[in-house]
Amino acid sequence: MAKDILSARQDFPVLGTQVNDRPLVYLDNAATTQKPQAVIDTLSDYYTRYNANIHRGNYTLAIEATNAHEAARAKVANYINAEHSHEVVFTRGATESINLVAYSFGERFVQAGDEIIVTQLEHHSNYVPWKLLCERRGAIFNVVPFDENGDLDLDVYKSLLNEKTRLVAVNHVSNSLGTVNPVKEIIQLSHDAGAVVLVDAAQSVQHIEHDVQALDADFYAFSGHKMYGPMGVGVLYGKEKWLDAMPPFLSGGEMIDVVTPEKITYNILPYKFEAGTPYVPGPIGLATAIDYLQSFDEQELHAYEDDLLKYGIERLKEIPGLKLYGNPKRRSSILPFNIEGVQHYDLGILLDARGIAVRTGQHCTQPIMDALKISGTVRASLALYNTREDIDALVNAIQRVLKILRK
Protein backbone atom coordinates (compact mmCIF):
# COMPACT_ATOMS: atom_id res chain seq x y z
CA MET A 1 0.00 0.00 0.00
CA ALA A 2 1.29 3.44 -0.95
CA LYS A 3 1.54 5.94 1.86
CA ASP A 4 -1.28 8.48 2.27
CA ILE A 5 0.05 11.91 1.21
CA LEU A 6 -2.14 13.71 3.72
CA SER A 7 -0.37 11.84 6.52
CA ALA A 8 3.05 13.18 5.50
CA ARG A 9 3.12 16.19 7.82
CA GLN A 10 3.40 14.01 10.91
CA ASP A 11 6.68 12.58 9.55
CA PHE A 12 8.46 15.96 9.73
CA PRO A 13 9.20 17.05 13.33
CA VAL A 14 9.91 20.70 12.53
CA LEU A 15 6.43 21.18 11.08
CA GLY A 16 4.99 20.80 14.57
CA THR A 17 7.02 23.71 15.95
CA GLN A 18 6.09 27.36 16.42
CA VAL A 19 7.80 30.47 15.06
CA ASN A 20 7.07 33.82 16.71
CA ASP A 21 4.34 32.12 18.76
CA ARG A 22 2.58 30.93 15.62
CA PRO A 23 2.42 27.48 14.05
CA LEU A 24 5.15 27.19 11.42
CA VAL A 25 3.97 27.37 7.81
CA TYR A 26 7.03 26.41 5.80
CA LEU A 27 6.93 27.57 2.16
CA ASP A 28 10.62 27.86 1.27
CA ASN A 29 11.08 24.38 -0.13
CA ALA A 30 12.90 25.53 -3.26
CA ALA A 31 15.71 26.65 -0.94
CA THR A 32 15.68 23.47 1.14
CA THR A 33 13.13 20.89 2.20
CA GLN A 34 12.54 19.75 5.74
CA LYS A 35 13.65 16.25 6.75
CA PRO A 36 11.42 13.35 7.74
CA GLN A 37 12.16 11.58 11.01
CA ALA A 38 13.41 8.57 9.04
CA VAL A 39 16.26 10.63 7.54
CA ILE A 40 17.10 12.16 10.91
CA ASP A 41 17.19 8.67 12.44
CA THR A 42 19.46 7.41 9.64
CA LEU A 43 22.00 10.16 10.30
CA SER A 44 21.87 9.52 14.03
CA ASP A 45 22.28 5.78 13.49
CA TYR A 46 25.39 6.29 11.36
CA TYR A 47 27.08 8.53 13.91
CA THR A 48 26.10 6.46 16.94
CA ARG A 49 26.58 2.95 15.58
CA TYR A 50 29.05 2.70 12.68
CA ASN A 51 30.82 6.02 12.08
CA ALA A 52 33.96 5.22 10.06
CA ASN A 53 35.84 6.27 6.95
CA ILE A 54 35.03 4.27 3.85
CA HIS A 55 36.78 2.23 1.17
CA ARG A 56 40.07 2.08 3.10
CA GLY A 57 39.46 0.09 6.26
CA ASN A 58 39.11 -3.67 6.61
CA TYR A 59 37.48 -3.58 10.05
CA THR A 60 33.78 -4.09 10.74
CA LEU A 61 32.66 -0.46 11.10
CA ALA A 62 34.50 0.63 7.95
CA ILE A 63 33.05 -2.26 5.96
CA GLU A 64 29.51 -1.49 7.14
CA ALA A 65 29.90 2.21 6.33
CA THR A 66 31.35 1.42 2.90
CA ASN A 67 28.55 -0.99 2.10
CA ALA A 68 25.89 1.51 3.15
CA HIS A 69 27.54 4.27 1.09
CA GLU A 70 27.72 2.11 -2.04
CA ALA A 71 24.18 0.82 -1.52
CA ALA A 72 23.11 4.46 -1.51
CA ARG A 73 24.83 4.97 -4.85
CA ALA A 74 22.91 2.04 -6.30
CA LYS A 75 19.66 3.42 -4.90
CA VAL A 76 20.27 6.84 -6.49
CA ALA A 77 21.13 5.18 -9.81
CA ASN A 78 17.88 3.21 -9.68
CA TYR A 79 15.86 6.30 -8.74
CA ILE A 80 17.04 8.27 -11.78
CA ASN A 81 17.27 5.13 -13.96
CA ALA A 82 20.98 5.40 -14.69
CA GLU A 83 22.31 2.52 -16.74
CA HIS A 84 25.22 1.95 -14.33
CA SER A 85 25.68 2.86 -10.67
CA HIS A 86 29.25 4.03 -11.44
CA GLU A 87 27.68 6.83 -13.49
CA VAL A 88 26.60 8.38 -10.16
CA VAL A 89 29.19 10.66 -8.59
CA PHE A 90 28.60 12.04 -5.09
CA THR A 91 29.41 15.72 -4.58
CA ARG A 92 28.57 18.40 -2.02
CA GLY A 93 25.57 19.61 -4.02
CA ALA A 94 24.26 20.56 -7.45
CA THR A 95 26.59 23.57 -7.55
CA GLU A 96 29.68 21.39 -7.18
CA SER A 97 28.28 18.88 -9.67
CA ILE A 98 27.89 21.58 -12.31
CA ASN A 99 31.29 23.09 -11.57
CA LEU A 100 32.85 19.63 -11.90
CA VAL A 101 31.53 19.35 -15.45
CA ALA A 102 32.41 22.95 -16.31
CA TYR A 103 36.03 22.41 -15.28
CA SER A 104 36.59 18.78 -16.28
CA PHE A 105 34.56 18.58 -19.49
CA GLY A 106 35.63 22.12 -20.32
CA GLU A 107 39.32 21.34 -19.95
CA ARG A 108 39.11 18.30 -22.22
CA PHE A 109 36.56 19.32 -24.84
CA VAL A 110 36.12 23.12 -25.05
CA GLN A 111 38.51 25.17 -27.18
CA ALA A 112 38.76 28.80 -28.29
CA GLY A 113 35.93 29.64 -30.67
CA ASP A 114 33.64 26.87 -29.38
CA GLU A 115 30.22 27.86 -28.09
CA ILE A 116 28.29 27.19 -24.87
CA ILE A 117 24.53 27.77 -24.60
CA VAL A 118 22.73 28.49 -21.34
CA THR A 119 19.28 29.95 -20.72
CA GLN A 120 18.07 33.13 -19.10
CA LEU A 121 16.10 30.97 -16.65
CA GLU A 122 19.16 29.49 -14.95
CA HIS A 123 20.18 29.67 -11.32
CA HIS A 124 23.58 31.34 -11.02
CA SER A 125 25.03 27.88 -10.32
CA ASN A 126 24.15 26.83 -13.88
CA TYR A 127 25.10 30.18 -15.44
CA VAL A 128 28.26 31.54 -13.84
CA PRO A 129 30.40 28.36 -14.18
CA TRP A 130 29.77 28.36 -17.95
CA LYS A 131 30.51 32.07 -18.28
CA LEU A 132 33.80 31.54 -16.44
CA LEU A 133 34.59 28.51 -18.62
CA CYS A 134 34.13 30.63 -21.74
CA GLU A 135 36.44 33.29 -20.31
CA ARG A 136 39.11 30.68 -19.49
CA ARG A 137 38.95 28.88 -22.83
CA GLY A 138 38.11 31.74 -25.19
CA ALA A 139 34.73 30.21 -26.00
CA ILE A 140 31.53 32.07 -26.88
CA PHE A 141 28.75 32.37 -24.28
CA ASN A 142 25.19 32.34 -25.68
CA VAL A 143 21.97 32.87 -23.72
CA VAL A 144 18.46 31.75 -24.70
CA PRO A 145 15.84 34.30 -23.55
CA PHE A 146 12.39 33.58 -22.17
CA ASP A 147 9.13 35.12 -23.36
CA GLU A 148 6.45 37.08 -21.52
CA ASN A 149 4.96 33.85 -20.14
CA GLY A 150 8.25 32.59 -18.75
CA ASP A 151 8.77 29.96 -21.46
CA LEU A 152 12.06 29.61 -23.29
CA ASP A 153 12.17 30.97 -26.84
CA LEU A 154 12.96 27.75 -28.67
CA ASP A 155 13.25 29.53 -32.02
CA VAL A 156 16.17 31.51 -30.64
CA TYR A 157 17.59 28.31 -29.18
CA LYS A 158 17.45 26.54 -32.53
CA SER A 159 19.10 29.51 -34.21
CA LEU A 160 22.00 29.39 -31.74
CA LEU A 161 22.73 25.70 -32.24
CA ASN A 162 25.53 25.02 -34.72
CA GLU A 163 28.55 22.79 -35.30
CA LYS A 164 30.58 24.86 -32.79
CA THR A 165 28.15 24.28 -29.92
CA ARG A 166 29.92 22.04 -27.43
CA LEU A 167 27.54 22.05 -24.48
CA VAL A 168 24.05 23.21 -23.55
CA ALA A 169 23.17 23.83 -19.87
CA VAL A 170 19.49 24.02 -18.94
CA ASN A 171 17.41 23.51 -15.83
CA HIS A 172 14.41 21.21 -15.86
CA VAL A 173 12.46 23.56 -13.55
CA SER A 174 13.23 27.22 -12.93
CA ASN A 175 13.76 27.96 -9.25
CA SER A 176 12.35 31.49 -9.69
CA LEU A 177 9.38 31.07 -12.03
CA GLY A 178 8.64 27.35 -11.78
CA THR A 179 8.76 26.97 -15.57
CA VAL A 180 9.12 23.34 -16.60
CA ASN A 181 11.46 23.44 -19.57
CA PRO A 182 11.04 20.98 -22.49
CA VAL A 183 14.38 19.36 -21.75
CA LYS A 184 13.72 16.20 -23.75
CA GLU A 185 13.17 18.28 -26.89
CA ILE A 186 16.17 20.47 -26.07
CA ILE A 187 18.36 17.40 -25.60
CA GLN A 188 17.24 15.87 -28.90
CA LEU A 189 17.89 19.11 -30.80
CA SER A 190 21.27 19.47 -29.11
CA HIS A 191 22.33 15.91 -29.91
CA ASP A 192 21.28 16.39 -33.53
CA ALA A 193 23.71 19.32 -33.63
CA GLY A 194 26.47 17.30 -31.95
CA ALA A 195 26.25 19.10 -28.59
CA VAL A 196 26.30 17.64 -25.07
CA VAL A 197 23.59 18.60 -22.52
CA LEU A 198 23.74 19.14 -18.77
CA VAL A 199 20.39 19.24 -16.98
CA ASP A 200 20.16 21.06 -13.64
CA ALA A 201 17.55 18.96 -11.86
CA ALA A 202 17.79 20.59 -8.42
CA GLN A 203 14.19 21.82 -8.58
CA SER A 204 12.72 18.94 -10.58
CA VAL A 205 14.05 15.61 -9.34
CA GLN A 206 11.63 15.54 -6.38
CA HIS A 207 8.59 16.88 -8.24
CA ILE A 208 8.43 15.58 -11.84
CA GLU A 209 9.84 12.89 -14.13
CA HIS A 210 13.52 12.06 -13.53
CA ASP A 211 14.49 9.23 -15.89
CA VAL A 212 17.92 10.13 -17.26
CA GLN A 213 17.83 7.43 -19.92
CA ALA A 214 14.40 8.50 -21.19
CA LEU A 215 15.62 12.10 -21.31
CA ASP A 216 18.95 10.98 -22.83
CA ALA A 217 20.74 13.52 -20.64
CA ASP A 218 24.53 13.52 -20.84
CA PHE A 219 24.85 15.06 -17.37
CA TYR A 220 22.22 15.49 -14.65
CA ALA A 221 22.86 17.34 -11.39
CA PHE A 222 20.86 17.71 -8.17
CA SER A 223 21.15 18.22 -4.42
CA GLY A 224 20.01 15.93 -1.62
CA HIS A 225 18.69 18.66 0.65
CA LYS A 226 16.01 19.74 -1.83
CA MET A 227 14.51 16.25 -1.91
CA TYR A 228 14.16 15.65 1.85
CA GLY A 229 17.74 14.42 2.30
CA PRO A 230 20.70 15.91 4.19
CA MET A 231 22.51 19.11 3.33
CA GLY A 232 26.03 18.64 2.03
CA VAL A 233 25.40 15.85 -0.47
CA GLY A 234 24.76 16.18 -4.18
CA VAL A 235 24.70 13.97 -7.23
CA LEU A 236 26.26 14.21 -10.64
CA TYR A 237 25.05 11.66 -13.13
CA GLY A 238 27.19 11.44 -16.24
CA LYS A 239 27.10 9.03 -19.13
CA GLU A 240 29.97 6.58 -18.78
CA LYS A 241 31.58 7.64 -22.06
CA TRP A 242 31.90 11.25 -20.90
CA LEU A 243 33.06 10.51 -17.36
CA ASP A 244 35.67 8.11 -18.71
CA ALA A 245 37.02 10.76 -21.06
CA MET A 246 37.12 13.62 -18.52
CA PRO A 247 40.09 14.34 -16.24
CA PRO A 248 39.58 14.48 -12.45
CA PHE A 249 38.16 17.65 -10.96
CA LEU A 250 39.91 17.39 -7.55
CA SER A 251 43.03 15.43 -6.71
CA GLY A 252 44.22 13.64 -3.60
CA GLY A 253 43.26 10.39 -1.94
CA GLU A 254 40.84 7.82 -3.39
CA MET A 255 40.87 9.24 -6.94
CA ILE A 256 44.26 7.72 -7.79
CA ASP A 257 45.37 4.30 -8.96
CA VAL A 258 49.18 4.56 -9.16
CA VAL A 259 51.36 7.44 -7.94
CA THR A 260 55.06 7.57 -8.79
CA PRO A 261 57.47 10.43 -9.54
CA GLU A 262 57.12 9.54 -13.21
CA LYS A 263 53.35 9.25 -13.60
CA ILE A 264 49.92 9.22 -11.97
CA THR A 265 47.05 7.04 -13.08
CA TYR A 266 43.45 7.42 -11.95
CA ASN A 267 40.99 5.23 -10.15
CA ILE A 268 37.98 3.70 -11.89
CA LEU A 269 34.59 5.41 -12.04
CA PRO A 270 33.09 6.94 -10.02
CA TYR A 271 36.00 7.24 -7.60
CA LYS A 272 38.08 9.23 -10.08
CA PHE A 273 35.81 12.16 -9.21
CA GLU A 274 35.51 11.56 -5.43
CA ALA A 275 38.80 12.77 -3.98
CA GLY A 276 39.27 12.86 -0.22
CA THR A 277 37.08 11.74 2.64
CA PRO A 278 33.45 12.12 1.56
CA TYR A 279 30.50 13.19 3.66
CA VAL A 280 29.68 9.55 4.30
CA PRO A 281 26.30 9.95 6.05
CA GLY A 282 25.04 12.26 3.29
CA PRO A 283 24.44 9.61 0.62
CA ILE A 284 23.16 7.18 3.27
CA GLY A 285 20.63 9.78 4.41
CA LEU A 286 19.77 10.55 0.78
CA ALA A 287 19.00 6.87 0.22
CA THR A 288 16.53 7.03 3.12
CA ALA A 289 14.97 10.15 1.60
CA ILE A 290 14.52 8.26 -1.68
CA ASP A 291 12.91 5.40 0.23
CA TYR A 292 10.58 7.93 1.80
CA LEU A 293 9.66 9.48 -1.57
CA GLN A 294 9.07 6.05 -3.04
CA SER A 295 6.71 5.13 -0.21
CA PHE A 296 4.13 7.27 -2.02
CA ASP A 297 2.48 6.48 -5.32
CA GLU A 298 4.45 8.69 -7.70
CA GLN A 299 1.51 9.61 -9.92
CA GLU A 300 -0.65 10.46 -6.92
CA LEU A 301 2.15 12.54 -5.43
CA HIS A 302 2.67 14.54 -8.64
CA ALA A 303 -1.09 15.05 -9.01
CA TYR A 304 -1.34 16.22 -5.39
CA GLU A 305 1.46 18.76 -5.83
CA ASP A 306 0.02 20.00 -9.14
CA ASP A 307 -3.40 20.47 -7.54
CA LEU A 308 -1.86 22.34 -4.61
CA LEU A 309 0.03 24.62 -6.99
CA LYS A 310 -3.16 25.34 -8.94
CA TYR A 311 -4.96 26.15 -5.69
CA GLY A 312 -2.14 28.48 -4.65
CA ILE A 313 -2.34 30.38 -7.94
CA GLU A 314 -6.11 30.76 -7.61
CA ARG A 315 -5.91 32.00 -4.02
CA LEU A 316 -3.08 34.46 -4.61
CA LYS A 317 -4.92 35.98 -7.55
CA GLU A 318 -7.70 36.97 -5.13
CA ILE A 319 -5.39 39.53 -3.49
CA PRO A 320 -5.77 43.05 -4.95
CA GLY A 321 -2.50 44.46 -6.27
CA LEU A 322 -0.72 41.09 -6.32
CA LYS A 323 1.24 40.25 -9.47
CA LEU A 324 2.09 36.60 -10.06
CA TYR A 325 5.07 36.22 -12.37
CA GLY A 326 5.03 33.87 -15.33
CA ASN A 327 2.31 31.90 -17.02
CA PRO A 328 4.31 29.06 -18.56
CA LYS A 329 2.86 26.13 -20.45
CA ARG A 330 3.77 23.99 -17.47
CA ARG A 331 4.71 25.12 -13.97
CA SER A 332 5.98 23.18 -10.97
CA SER A 333 6.00 24.01 -7.25
CA ILE A 334 6.92 27.74 -7.43
CA LEU A 335 4.67 30.74 -6.67
CA PRO A 336 6.59 34.00 -7.35
CA PHE A 337 4.83 37.30 -6.72
CA ASN A 338 4.99 40.92 -5.66
CA ILE A 339 2.36 43.25 -4.26
CA GLU A 340 2.01 46.78 -5.52
CA GLY A 341 3.44 49.29 -3.07
CA VAL A 342 5.06 46.67 -0.80
CA GLN A 343 8.76 45.85 -0.94
CA HIS A 344 9.30 42.09 -1.21
CA TYR A 345 11.87 42.01 1.59
CA ASP A 346 9.53 43.87 3.95
CA LEU A 347 6.68 41.51 3.14
CA GLY A 348 8.88 38.52 3.93
CA ILE A 349 9.69 39.92 7.37
CA LEU A 350 6.04 40.69 8.11
CA LEU A 351 5.00 37.18 7.07
CA ASP A 352 7.71 35.67 9.28
CA ALA A 353 6.19 37.52 12.22
CA ARG A 354 3.10 35.40 11.56
CA GLY A 355 5.04 32.14 11.38
CA ILE A 356 5.17 31.92 7.58
CA ALA A 357 8.51 31.16 5.92
CA VAL A 358 8.91 32.37 2.33
CA ARG A 359 11.97 33.50 0.39
CA THR A 360 12.49 37.04 -0.88
CA GLY A 361 15.03 38.56 -3.25
CA GLN A 362 16.58 37.52 -6.56
CA HIS A 363 16.84 33.81 -5.70
CA CYS A 364 20.28 33.64 -7.37
CA THR A 365 18.68 34.47 -10.72
CA GLN A 366 19.64 38.06 -11.49
CA PRO A 367 19.22 37.55 -15.29
CA ILE A 368 15.55 36.69 -14.68
CA MET A 369 14.98 39.72 -12.46
CA ASP A 370 16.75 42.00 -14.95
CA ALA A 371 14.55 40.68 -17.75
CA LEU A 372 11.43 41.32 -15.64
CA LYS A 373 12.80 44.75 -14.61
CA ILE A 374 12.30 44.07 -10.91
CA SER A 375 14.63 43.86 -7.91
CA GLY A 376 13.20 40.56 -6.65
CA THR A 377 10.09 38.63 -5.69
CA VAL A 378 8.42 36.91 -2.80
CA ARG A 379 8.64 33.20 -3.54
CA ALA A 380 6.43 30.58 -1.95
CA SER A 381 7.54 27.07 -2.92
CA LEU A 382 5.77 23.81 -2.23
CA ALA A 383 6.62 20.33 -1.02
CA LEU A 384 4.66 17.12 -0.49
CA TYR A 385 3.89 18.00 3.16
CA ASN A 386 2.26 21.33 2.30
CA THR A 387 -1.53 21.60 2.33
CA ARG A 388 -4.30 23.89 1.22
CA GLU A 389 -4.38 25.13 4.80
CA ASP A 390 -0.80 26.37 4.33
CA ILE A 391 -1.87 28.30 1.24
CA ASP A 392 -4.85 29.72 3.10
CA ALA A 393 -2.59 30.78 5.97
CA LEU A 394 -0.28 32.57 3.51
CA VAL A 395 -3.15 34.38 1.80
CA ASN A 396 -4.80 35.34 5.10
CA ALA A 397 -1.51 36.65 6.47
CA ILE A 398 -0.90 38.75 3.36
CA GLN A 399 -4.39 40.20 3.60
CA ARG A 400 -3.87 41.10 7.28
CA VAL A 401 -0.51 42.69 6.54
CA LEU A 402 -2.02 44.76 3.73
CA LYS A 403 -4.80 45.98 6.02
CA ILE A 404 -2.18 47.26 8.45
CA LEU A 405 0.02 48.83 5.75
CA ARG A 406 -2.87 50.48 3.91
CA LYS A 407 -4.64 52.05 6.87
What is the distance between the alpha carbons of residues 317 and 307, in angstroms, rounded to a whole number? Answer: 16
CA dihedral 140, 181, 82, 304 (to 10 degrees): 160
| Residues recognised as catalytic | 364
Using CB atoms within 10 A of its CB, is residue 320 exposed (0-12), middle (13-18) or buried (19+)? exposed
Which residues are registered as beta bridge partners of 237? 88, 220
Which residues are registered as beta bridge partners of 222? 235
